[in-house]
């Protein structure tokens, strides 16, 4: 009887698909943490080394298991397998660098070692900020595990004032991204765990960014411009041709592209992004901490409206009751932080395991923010919306910070006073309540109640005219009031469907798009773009010329956004009667700037009040789809001159 001896199977003899499947589970025994190094497997034999060296789609699978991946598909392009593998290596290096820096003592954790292979501090901060913008749940878990929150907090407390200008901290990429990442990783649990001393020391560090608007801008271009971009700065002898000199620098502040863009590696391509605004990040951090402190309620005054009626006729009772209600709302509502619960990792781990659930709608809110920073100042064509019409519909509550002696105290002096605190500024908060409604204007001049859609349009003025209660628009009508008949509620709801009032044959936006597509079909722009085909960068250490992140821009059906006919986005607002009893009956009028999604609102007293309150112009940006942060200033002042200004925030209140 003949005996046959079976040859034992080895890894090298397995089919490539089976080997890659085994290696995947070896690399990723769990979702949390970096992948297991492949060194042990690569040393087995040359056959395995070769198979794994060319299996780039294996590393793409590892990336999608460890990090969020749907954002780049929604906003840009579908990366190739090699680009997924490169990004996996880059983000693992960034998080490894953070863990390594955390093991160092004191300021050594934030020193750049040019002999080491790890990324510099500013480069690391920018990479972490991109991880936040592209987060669909998994990135945040990986950053928390690496200790990013603690490392960034230490940077803000100890390193942000290492380089100053007349005592003021710089709004550079490192400082700006550090505050953005710090806010993004904040949670309600973390905020509640911070002691009063920790909160106060943190606020002192970030206070200049939100209280000195004539040094730190709150928008990518001054709010007195609506048609943007402006003519090229190259044709002027000065980088700020429309500004006047002040002790804090030129005002209004025009950000020059060469000084406010950052070239960062992203999916094996060098990507130009604008530096995020430090003022917006500081406001988010500041208000998220201050919202943990409740408003004072005076015991000597009536507790509520019923008590007021039984005692004295005064608005003080209404104010007391409103402050108590506001405190109750702050205790239960989502604060100005990205996440409510620090223990949400289980939900995010589930998202990471199930790749199909990675594209959840609740994470799409940062798409506008990423598109804004992708196209502002960089010159890259806008391929997505920077603002979603309909986002402001509903009741919004928040605070505006009023400074008693800001202009006299800060503007004449160019140097930062010492001490520089809320007390020296006379800073205090006033509650804000406003119910906003949005309307879109089509080319036929009809206002339509607005739901989520994209926009298109331009005009000369961002804010509504302070002398009129009506709104001007780019549509062919001279004076539009939003009190005109819009029909029944059912009819109004039907009008909110995108495209209902869109005549594609006469719409200027559609005509312009068709002309661009016709030119593309004729081959003029395609030939020009193909002659400038960029070469792919090999990584962070490459010496080749940087290339664009996305493929060369070629006008086509995919690269030219579809037109929906919207020419303008108009906003109206009012104060609910309950809130008006305490804080006054205010009327709001405004619109949205197409270029960067800047929201401009003029608040004035209702004509029925009879009190001559000054008009206030609020301008800011909707961040993350739910936080409207910015600056207010007196509306009757020259917008080209520094004026009495302050920070504000508004958050949507669920009803």
- Write the secondary structure of 356-399 as one string of H (helix), E (strand) and C (coil): HHHCCHHHHHHHHHHHHHHHCCCCCCCCCCCCCCCCCCEEEEEE
* Cβ contact 67:118 at 8 Å: no
Mean pLDDT (whole number) for 540-563: 54
597 in helix, strand or coil?
coil
Cα 426 to Cα 600: distance, rounded to the nearest angstrom? 26
Task: Enter the tokens of residue 395.
Answer: 């009741």
What are φ and ψ of residue 2, in 5° steps? -85, 130
Contacts of 506 (CB under 8 A, 6+ apart): 443
Query: What are 601's strand-pairing partners?
Result: 590, 618
DSSP H or E stretch at residue 6: none
Least confident range from 11-20, 95-104, 273-282, 485-494: namely: 485-494
What are φ and ψ of residue 158, in 5° steps? -120, -25
| Total-model pTM | 0.79
Residue of 428, 429, 400, 425 lying closest to 410 (CA atoms): 425
Least confident range from 251-255, 335-339, 469-473, 595-599: namely: 469-473
Over the stretch 320-374, which tens digit does the pLDDT of each residue have?
555 556 555 554 444 455 544 444 443 334 333 333 333 444 556 678 888 888 8
Task: Enter the tokens of residue 222.
Answer: 């001054």
Sequence length of the chain is: 655
Cα 600 to Cα 298: distance, rounded to the nearest angstrom? 35
Q: Please report how the helices 148-158 and 138-146 are oriented relative to each other, as an axis angle in degrees rounded to 10.
A: 60
Mean pLDDT (whole number) for 231-240: 48
Residue 345 half-sphere exposure toward CB, CA atoms < 13 A = 12
Could you tell me the CA-to-CA distances from 95 to 128, 146, 147, 496, 568 in Å, in that order? 9, 6, 9, 45, 43
Cα 117 to Cα 139: distance, rounded to the nearest angstrom? 23
**For position 96, what pLDDT does the model report?**
93
Task: Enter the tokens of residue 624.
Answer: 């993350």
The DSSP output letter for 443 is: T
Contacts 24+ apart (CB under 8 A), 166-172: 166/414, 166/415, 166/416, 167/415, 167/416, 167/418, 168/208, 168/212, 168/215, 168/415, 168/416, 169/205, 169/208, 169/209, 171/209, 171/216, 171/275, 171/277, 171/278, 171/279, 172/122, 172/275
Average pLDDT in the chain = 75
Show the DSSP H helices in 537-624 as ranges. 577-583
Query: What are 595's strand-pairing partners?
Result: none
Least confident range from 382-386, 406-410, 448-452, 463-467: namely: 463-467
* Residue linked to tokens 């911070």: 194
Q: Calculate what percentage of the chain has a pLDDT beyond 90.
A: 29
Q: Calculate what percentage of the chain has a pLDDT beyond 70.
A: 68
Cα 499 to Cα 510: distance, rounded to the nearest angstrom? 12
Residue of 129, 170, 118 lying closest to 152 (CA atoms): 129
Mean pLDDT (whole number) for 571-593: 87
Cα 90 to Cα 539: distance, rounded to the nearest angstrom? 9
**For position 480, what pLDDT does the model report?**
33
Cα 536 to Cα 407: distance, rounded to the nearest angstrom? 51
* Residue linked to tokens 């730190």: 216
Cα 102 to Cα 114: distance, rounded to the nearest angstrom? 18
Residue 330 half-sphere exposure toward CB, CA atoms < 13 A = 23
- Dihedral sign for Cα 468, 470, 476, 477, please: negative
Mean pLDDT (whole number) for 107-116: 75
Mean pLDDT (whole number) for 477-493: 38
Task: Enter the tokens of residue 492.
Answer: 């109004």
Q: Is the pLDDT of residue 19 over 60?
A: yes
Q: Is the pLDDT of residue 144 over 90?
A: yes
* Cβ contact 351:360 at 8 Å: yes
H/E/C letters for each residue in 221-255?
Answer: CCCCCCCCCCCCHHHCCCCCCCCECCCCCCECCCC
Contacts of 361 (CB under 8 A, 6+ apart): none
Task: Enter the tokens of residue 96.
Answer: 């490894």
Instruction: Count the Cβ atoms, other than its own, within 10 Å of residue 194.
Output: 15
**For position 358, what pLDDT does the model report?**
39
């Amino acid at each position: 009887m003949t005996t046959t001896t079976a040859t034992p199977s080895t890894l090298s003899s397995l089919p490539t698909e089976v080997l890659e499947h085994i290696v995947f589970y070896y690399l990723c025994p769990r979702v949390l943490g970096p992948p297991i190094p492949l060194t042990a497997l690569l040393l087995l034999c040359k056959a395995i080394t070769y198979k794994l060296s060319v299996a780039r789609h294996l590393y793409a699978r590892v990336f999608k298991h460890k990090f969020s991946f749907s954002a780049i598909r929604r906003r840009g392009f579908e990366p190739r397998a090699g680009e997924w593998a490169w990004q996996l290596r880059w983000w693992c290096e960034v998080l490894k660098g953070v863990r390594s820096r955390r093991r160092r003592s004191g300021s050594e954790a934030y020193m750049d070692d040019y002999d080491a292979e790890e990324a510099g501090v500013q480069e690391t901060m920018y990479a972490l900020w991109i991880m936040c913008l592209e987060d669909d749940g998994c990135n945040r878990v990986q950053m928390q595990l690496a200790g990013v929150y603690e490392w960034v907090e230490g940077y803000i407390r100890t390193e942000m004032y290492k380089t100053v200008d007349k005592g003021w901290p710089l709004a550079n990429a490192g400082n700006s991204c550090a505050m953005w990442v710090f806010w993004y990783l904040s949670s309600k649990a973390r905020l509640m765990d911070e002691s009063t001393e920790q909160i106060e020391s943190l606020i002192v560090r970030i206070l200049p960014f939100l209280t000195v608007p004539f040094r730190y801008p709150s928008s990518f271009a001054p709010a007195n411009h609506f048609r943007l971009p402006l003519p090229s700065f190259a044709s002027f002898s000065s980088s700020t041709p429309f500004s006047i000199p002040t002790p804090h620098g030129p005002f209004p502040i025009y950000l020059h592209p060469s000084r406010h863009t950052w070239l960062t590696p992203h999916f094996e391509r060098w990507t130009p992004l604008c530096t995020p605004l430090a003022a917006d990040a500081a406001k988010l951090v500041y208000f998220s901490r201050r919202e943990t402190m409740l408003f004072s309620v005076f015991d000597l005054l009536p507790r509520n409206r019923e008590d007021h009626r039984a005692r004295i006729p005064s608005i003080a009772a209404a104010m007391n009751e409103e402050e108590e209600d506001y405190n109750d709302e702050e205790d239960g509502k989502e604060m100005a932080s990205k996440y409510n619960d620090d223990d949400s990792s289980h939900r995010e781990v589930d998202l990471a395991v199930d790749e199909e659930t990675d594209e959840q709608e609740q994470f799409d809110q940062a798409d506008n923010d990423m598109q804004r920073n992708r196209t502002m100042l960089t010159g890259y064509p806008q391929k997505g919306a920077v603002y979603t019409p309909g986002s402001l519909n509903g009741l919004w509550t928040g605070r505006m910070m009023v400074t008693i002696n800001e202009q006299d105290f800060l503007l004449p002096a160019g140097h930062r006073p010492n001490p520089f605190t809320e007390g020296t500024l006379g800073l205090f908060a006033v509650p804000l309540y406003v119910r906003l409604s949005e309307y879109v204007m089509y080319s036929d001049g009809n206002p339509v109640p607005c739901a989520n859609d994209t926009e298109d349009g331009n005009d000369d003025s961002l804010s509504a005219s302070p002398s009129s209660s009506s709104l001007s628009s780019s549509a062919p009508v001279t004076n539009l009031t939003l009190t005109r008949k819009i029909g029944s509620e059912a009819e109004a709801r039907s009008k909110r469907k995108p495209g209902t009032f869109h005549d594609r044959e006469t719409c200027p936006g559609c005509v312009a798009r068709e002309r661009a597509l016709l030119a593309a079909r004729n081959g003029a722009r395609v030939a020009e773009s193909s002659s400038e085909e960029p070469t792919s960068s090999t990584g962070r250490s490459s010496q080749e010329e940087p290339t664009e992140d996305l493929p060369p821009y070629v006008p086509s059906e995919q690269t030219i956004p579809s037109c929906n006919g919207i020419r303008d986005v108009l906003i109206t607002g009012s104060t609910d009667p309950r809130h008006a009893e305490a804080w006054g009956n205010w009327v709001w009028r405004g619109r949205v700037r197409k270029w960067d999604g800047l929201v401009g609102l003029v608040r004035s007293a209702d004509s029925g009040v009879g009190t001559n309150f000054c008009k206030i112009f609020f301008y800011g940006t909707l961040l993350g789809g739910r936080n409207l942060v910015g600056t207010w200033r007196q509306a009757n002042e020259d917008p080209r001159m520094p004026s009495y200004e302050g920070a504000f925030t508004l958050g949507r209140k669920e009803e």
